[in-house]
């Protein structure tokens, strides 16, 4: 059966950021509310992964157990980088755990998770594509493909190496569209020319574009007064050539409603809006904000359990508001409630986190800046004592 994009609502529910409780753990009741609103608005595609903590189990409780299996599609993924795969048998173990976590006997889409850079070697070493093909042959997945954060040259190679891939999941957002390190436009054009439906991920860059610096807000307020900052970013991604599904990692019912409203009466980006986001991108770059999406892939490989994404949040707070005392407070707060619980001063500088970061962030340089500009204010910040 071919991958039929006409049967899928163009807004996909990204399930990496389910929360609902004050301590950032997942509430089944709240997730059910979000999912019900999404389904009522016509949504039917859910993107999760074996590597997203507790996400598959939350989907089982809030979606699979409560709605007919043929009323939704689930995509999940296997991972072969970091310490998660020490042989092909670990891939099979991940698959079986995914099916069990989700409470299903098949998934609609099964993907290799996050190809590109040094991460690709793990998939090659473990013969992961042959495994993914076998998942489809055994009737445990209806469709197969891969997600990637990669260069256009790498993508060309993946398309050659994995010709049976039916879908390609790529990062698409206005911040990285023309950036020399991400070259997203080229990647999208390559996948589109190869005839692969594109699933756009990180359209809001892990929330960064939903709450951008003041200079960016001023541009978007003027040019797109009817869009929230998040929906402006979603519309940009959904307007890109070949994009069939745009994933939004929603964490609140308000976000679900805001996003569904935009897609129920979808208006593609105009030329004037394209020009506005080009200026917004420049303003964002000039702000120096760290482009961390909070994916926490770094936390999965850090031997010290450092709160890396939380530290980036604190650094961005400092950059955005120029308030080192408040950022010092944030540093103590966010590392306690995010993946990794230790402060950057316990980092042993092994570099493992930088190797897997799909955003190419110079994490150690960021730590240096935190040490120099934020940590000296710990004593001033009463809550950090």
CB of 67 to ligand SF4, least distance (A): 31
**Residue 296 touches ligand SF4, criterion: CB under 6 A:** yes
**Residue 28 touches ligand SF4, criterion: CB under 6 A:** no
Tokens, residue 256: 């679900």
d(Cα 333, Cα 347) in Å, to the nearest integer? 18
d(Cα 363, Cα 185) in Å, to the nearest integer? 25
Contact region for ligand SF4 (CB under 6 A) — 137-145, 223-231, 253-261, 351-359?
351-359
User: Is the separation of the CB atoms in 139 and 104 below 8 Å?
Assistant: no
CB of 16 to ligand SF4, least distance (A): 11
State which of residues 309, 313, 316, 381 lies at the interface with ligand SF4 (CB under 6 A). Answer: 309
**Residue 298 touches ligand SF4, criterion: CB under 6 A:** yes
Could you give phi then psi for residue 332, rounded to 5 degrees?
Answer: -65, -35
Query: How many other CB atoms are found less than 10 A from the CB of residue 118?
Result: 11
- The 8-class DSSP code of residue 54 comes to T
CB of 114 to ligand SF4, least distance (A): 10
State which of residues 104, 295, 314, 328 lies at the interface with ligand SF4 (CB under 6 A). Answer: 295
**Residue 118 touches ligand SF4, criterion: CB under 6 A:** no
E strand spans, the chain: 11-14, 45-47, 73-78, 107-115, 141-148, 167-171, 198-201, 243-249
CB of 52 to ligand SF4, least distance (A): 12
d(Cα 293, Cα 288) in Å, to the nearest integer? 15
How many residues would you count in the chain?
385
Q: Which helix (H) or strand (E) holds 314?
A: helix 308-321
State which of residues 237, 238, 335, 353 lies at the interface with ligand SF4 (CB under 6 A). Answer: 353
CB of 25 to ligand SF4, least distance (A): 18
3-class SS of residue 41:
coil
CB of 11 to ligand SF4, least distance (A): 23
State which of residues 118, 121, 193, 348 lies at the interface with ligand SF4 (CB under 6 A). Answer: 348
What track of x and - describes contact with ligand SF4 for positions 355 through 374 (by CB under 6 A)?
A: --x-x-x-x-----------
User: Is the separation of the CB atoms in 191 and 168 below 8 Å?
Assistant: yes
Contact region for ligand SF4 (CB under 6 A) — 7-15, 81-89, 276-284, 341-349?
341-349
CB of 302 to ligand SF4, least distance (A): 3
**Residue 83 touches ligand SF4, criterion: CB under 6 A:** no
Nearer to ligand SF4 by Cβ, of 261 and 349: the residue is: 349
User: Is the separation of the CB atoms in 55 and 24 below 8 Å?
Assistant: no
User: Is the separation of the CB atoms in 243 and 237 below 8 Å?
Assistant: yes
Nearer to ligand SF4 by Cβ, of 241 and 303: the residue is: 303
**Residue 343 touches ligand SF4, criterion: CB under 6 A:** no
Query: How many other CB atoms are found less than 10 A from the CB of residue 77?
Result: 24
- Interface residues with ligand SF4 (CB under 6 A) are 292-298, 301-304, 306, 308-309, 312, 347-353, 357, 359, 361, 363
């Amino acid at each position: 059966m071919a991958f039929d994009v006409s049967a899928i609502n163009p807004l996909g529910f990204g399930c990496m950021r389910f929360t609902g409780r004050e301590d950032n753990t997942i509430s089944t009741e709240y997730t059910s509310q979000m999912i019900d609103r999404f389904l009522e608005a016509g949504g039917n595609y859910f993107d999760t992964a074996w590597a997203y903590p507790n996400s598959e189990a939350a989907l089982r409780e809030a979606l699979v157990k409560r709605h007919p299996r043929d009323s939704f599609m689930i995509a999940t993924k296997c991972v072969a980088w970091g310490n998660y795969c020490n042989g092909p048998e670990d891939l099979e173990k991940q698959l079986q755990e995914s099916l069990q976590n989700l409470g299903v006997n098949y998934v609609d889409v099964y993907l290799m998770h996050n190809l590109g850079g040094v991460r690709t070697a793990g998939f090659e070493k473990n013969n992961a594509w042959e495994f993914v093909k076998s998942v489809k042959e055994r009737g445990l997945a209806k469709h197969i493909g891969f997600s990637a954060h990669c260069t256009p040259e790498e993508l060309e190679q993946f398309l050659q190496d994995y010709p049976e891939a039916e879908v390609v999941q790529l990062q698409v957002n206005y911040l990285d569209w023309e950036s020399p390190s991400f070259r997203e436009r080229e990647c999208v054009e390559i996948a589109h020319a190869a005839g692969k439906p594109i699933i756009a991920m990180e359209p809001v860059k892990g929330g960064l574009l939903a709450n951008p610096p003041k200079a960016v807000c001023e541009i978007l307020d003027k040019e797109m007064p009817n869009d929230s900052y998040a929906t402006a970013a979603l519309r940009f991604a959904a307007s890109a050539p070949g994009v069939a599904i745009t994933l939004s990692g929603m964490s609140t019912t308000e976000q679900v409603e805001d996003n569904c409203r935009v897609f129920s009466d979808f208006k593609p980006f105009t030329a004037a809006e394209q020009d506005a986001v080009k200026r917004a991108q420049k303003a964002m770059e000039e702000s120096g904000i760290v482009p961390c999406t909070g994916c926490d892939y770094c936390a999965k490989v850090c031997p010290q359990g450092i709160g890396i994404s939380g530290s980036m949040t604190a650094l961005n707070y400092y950059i955005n508001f120029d308030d080192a005392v408040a950022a010092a407070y944030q540093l103590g707060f966010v590392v306690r409630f995010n993946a990794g619980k230790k402060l950057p001063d316990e980092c042993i500088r092994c570099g493992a986190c930088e190797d897997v970061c799909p955003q190419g962030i110079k994490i150690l340089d960021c730590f240096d800046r935190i040490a120099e500009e934020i940590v000296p204010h710990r004593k001033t910040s009463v809550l950090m004592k």
